Structure 1
Amino acid sequence: MSRHQDIWRAIDRLAERHGLTPSGLARKAGLDPTTFNKSKRITRDERARWPSTESIEKILDATGATWGEFVSFMNEGTFKNIPLIGFAQAGAAGFFDDAGYPAGAGWEDIPFPDIGDPHAYALEISGDSMEPVYRDGDVVIVCPQAPLRRGDRVIVKTREGEIMAKILKRKTSNKYELRSLNPEHPDRWLTTEEVEWVARILWATQ
Structure 2
Amino acid sequence: MRHDDIWRAVDALAAEHGLSPSGLARKAGLDPTAFNPSKRVGADGRARWPSTESIAKILSATGTEMDSFASLVTGAPTLNSATGRPLSGRRIPLIGMAQAGSDGYFGDGGYPVGAGWDEISSPELADPNAYALEISGESMEPVFRDGDIIIVSPNSPVRRGDRVVVRTVKGEVMAKELVRQSARRIELASLNPAHPHYSFDLSEILWMHRILWASQ
TM-score of the aligned structures, taking structure 2 as reference length? 0.66
1:158 equivalent among 154, 162, 168: 168
Extract unaligned runs of 5+ from structure 1: 9-31, 43-51, 61-66
1:100 maps to amino acid: G
CA contact 2:17–2:126 (8 Å) conserved in 1: no
1:97 pairs with 2:107 = yes
Match of 2:45 in 1: none
2:155 maps to amino acid: Q
2:54 maps to amino acid: K
2:79 maps to amino acid: V
Alpha-carbon RMSD across the aligned residues, in angstroms, is 3.3
1:134 pairs with 2:144 = yes
Q: Structure 1 residues 35 and 178, CA, compared in 2 at 3 Å: closer, same or farther? A: farther
Q: How many residues align?
A: 164
How far is the alpha carbon of 1:114 from its aligned partner? Answer: 1.8
1:38 pairs with 2:46 = no
1:56 equivalent among 65, 68, 73: 73
Match of 1:192 in 2: 202
How far is the alpha carbon of 1:71 from its aligned partner? Answer: 2.5
CA contact 1:84–1:107 (8 Å) conserved in 2: yes
Match of 2:81 in 1: 73
How far is the alpha carbon of 1:53 from its aligned partner? Answer: 9.7
CA contact 1:155–1:198 (8 Å) conserved in 2: yes
How far is the alpha carbon of 1:100 from its aligned partner? Answer: 1.3
Instruction: Give a deviation string over 1:171-201, Cα, whole Å, max 9, x none.
Output: 1111111011001110000111110000000
Percentage of identical aligned residues: 47
How far is the alpha carbon of 1:92 from its aligned partner? Answer: 0.4
Return the alpha-carbon distance in structure 2 between the equivalents of residues 169 and 35 of structure 1. 26
CA contact 2:16–2:123 (8 Å) conserved in 1: no
Return the alpha-carbon distance in structure 1 between the equivalents of residues 212 and 128 of structure 2. 14
How far is the alpha carbon of 1:97 from its aligned partner? Answer: 1.2
CA contact 2:164–2:177 (8 Å) conserved in 1: yes
Q: Structure 1 residues 180 and 157, CA, compared in 2 at 3 Å: closer, same or farther? A: same
Q: Secondary structure at the match of 2:98?
A: helix
CA contact 2:101–2:171 (8 Å) conserved in 1: yes
Return the alpha-carbon distance in structure 1 between the equivalents of residues 214 and 143 of structure 2. 10
Return the alpha-carbon distance in structure 1 between the equivalents of residues 162 and 138 of structure 2. 20
Return the alpha-carbon distance in structure 2 between the equivalents of residues 103 and 186 of structure 1. 31
1:117 pairs with 2:134 = no
2:89 maps to amino acid: F
Return the alpha-carbon distance in structure 2 between the equivalents of residues 41 and 190 of structure 1. 41
CA contact 1:53–1:202 (8 Å) conserved in 2: no
1:202 maps to amino acid: L
1:111 maps to amino acid: S
Instruction: Give a deviation string over 1:70-123, Cα, whole Å, max 9, x none.
Output: 431399x77101000001110101110122110111111111122111100010
2:111 maps to amino acid: Y
